[in-house]
Amino acid sequence: MGPPYSGKPQTRRGTRLSLVTAIVERPRVLADVIPGGLARDAALVLGGAGFVGLLAQWAITLPFTPVPLTLGTFAVLLTGAALGTARGLASIGIYVAAGMAGVPWFAGHSSGWGFPSFGYLIGFVVAATLVGALAARGGDRTVLKTIGLMILGNLVIYAIGVPYLAANTGMDLATAIDKGATPFLLGDAVKIVLAAGLLPTAWALVRRVRDN
């Protein structure tokens, strides 16, 4: 006759084994560390969209440009890196599509489409997908790689957002760069440094749990 059954220790052990199993399988992106299947992916995709919508509300309107200063870009690139290609595309795609449909979670509780800064939102989708793909290849594992990853993501957003700004407002390209890129470079640098600390640190924690 075996020892009496005790559900509590086995539950803790089962939870730990599930987490360790997910980590030992060498996740490609941080989201892969979380055990689960389609339900997990759906929750991550929706959570990523909500995270971007939340940080986008930290926005400052600048008097000399129609493009607001916001944490949305930072949230988009973090989401893309953490979720990977497909989930990053789905998450930011939902964020943009829902905002176009009327959900007021663009910068400053706005929604819709066709406004001067809308090109940056299109750039969000492309940048999140690219950053997710590169993160899945190890692009967010070290500080230097993460810096390069974030710089590339920002360049993609500007490459789409600035020409759209020029076309929408009638500015020439030089003016659009002056009003739609230059004022934000210092803030971008700060956010890149922050991401370069967050993502590699998260991977270091994953390795520590896996090695233990």
CATH of the domain at 199: 1.10.1760.20
Asked, for residue 1, whether it belongs to a domain, the answer is no
Q: Is residue 124's pLDDT more than 60?
A: yes
161 within a domain of the structure (yes/no): yes
Minimum mean pLDDT range among 4-13, 94-103, 153-162 = 4-13
Boundaries of domain holding 186: 7-211
Question: What is the biggest distance separating any 2 CA atoms in the chain, rounded to whole angstroms?
Answer: 84
Of 10-14, 85-89, 179-183, minimum mean pLDDT range: 10-14
pLDDT at residue 13 above 90? no
Q: Which residues contact 198 (CB under 8 A, 6 or more apart)?
A: 78
CB neighbour burial string for 48-79, b if at least 16 within 10 angstroms, e if fewer: bbbbbbebbbebeeeeebebbbbbbbbbbbbb
Q: Is the pLDDT of residue 144 over 50?
A: yes
pLDDT number for residue 10: 45
Note whether residue 103 is domain-resident.
Answer: yes
Question: Domain tally for the chain?
Answer: 1
In whole angstroms, give the CA distance from residue 74 to residue 194.
9
**174 belongs to a structural domain:** yes
In a domain, 2, yes or no: no
Q: Is residue 54 part of a domain?
A: yes
Q: Calculate mean pLDDT across residues 182-200.
A: 95
What pLDDT was estimated at residue 152? Answer: 97
Q: Which residue has the higher pLDDT, 7 or 135?
A: 135
Residues contacting 159, CB < 8 A, separation 6+: 123
* pLDDT range class, residue 205, cuts 50, 70, 90: very high
